[in-house]
Structure 1
Amino acid sequence: MPKDENSQEVARMFLFGCFTGLSLGNLETLTYKQIEDDTVKFFRTKTKTWHHVPLNETALSLIGDTFDCDPNGRIFNTPSRRYSQTLLEKWGKQAGIKKHVHMHLSRHTFATLNLSSGADLYTVSKLIGHKKLATTQIYAKVIDSAKRKAVDALPQLKL
């Protein structure tokens, strides 16, 4: 993790997005009262629906202990979108990533991690909060290892 507080907040928010699939708008406005029973509850204004996403240990560790916090307090106190974007681009270049690195990439990462770990497209779609499965397919890049696994799972014929 970075050393200065602002950079740490940006890193925490990006990583939390990688483990929850929350949009930038939901990440920016996320409060402690939205965390309940190891689940994050949020309203997607785009689809006008409430969603519940279970939190794994990594996601929980990124938000820390919520008991002593102001329930209405924001979990992530990032300076600005521009500052966050500048940091993410810098970190991407330092890591040798050729792709444009931005906060929304955490959502793509969440979908890809889930799909490559064996989650089905429908479940990932519901976790992200999409109404249509086709929307989730945009996020879902077919991974070569998944293609190999699918082909290897076909029945073998003895000829």
Structure 2
Amino acid sequence: MLLLNAQGLSNGKHYIEISGIADGDFKSEIIDSEVFIEGSIRVHNDRIILNGKAWTSARLICDLSLEEYRERIEAEVNINIIKGMKEEYRTEKDENIIYVGEEEKNVNITEIVIQELLVKVPMKKVAPQYKDKDIEEIYPEIKEIKKEGLSPFDILKNLKHN
């Protein structure tokens, strides 16, 4: 759980480092290791603005070889925390706003950070040892299948049109 201390902060800018493991509802198959956040918070009375960078080691499965590998993913994190605002004045327009009670010491920022990291997971997942290789280099038997004409589409080529 990633918790930001929100009590007893003086107005101004403060440097922060937070680390924790996503657990409970925020646990993910991809992000299963420790998450780190480094950045600054700016405090203005009842508003806290967190700007920083989050990173973790993601567990991915290679699209070419189906091997499991780990890759570092990073994401920019911008979160607004508003303390003590009455419910009737709250707006849900921005997803990166967290409303907390005046008496709360810690703010749970896990959900927003995990969402930002999951968005940065690459669409094409290729293990480092296969980055610059074609699929024929990884599986040489594919070249033989193409040469021998054992493709399932070869049968379709022989069909005659009526």
Give TM-score, length-normalised by structure 1.
Answer: 0.23
Structure with the larger strand share: 2
Instruction: Compare CA radii of gyration and give the structure with the larger one.
Output: 2
With CA pairs under 8 Å and 6+ residues apart, which has the higher RCO, 1 or 2? 1
Give TM-score, length-normalised by structure 2.
Answer: 0.22
Structure with the larger helix share: 1
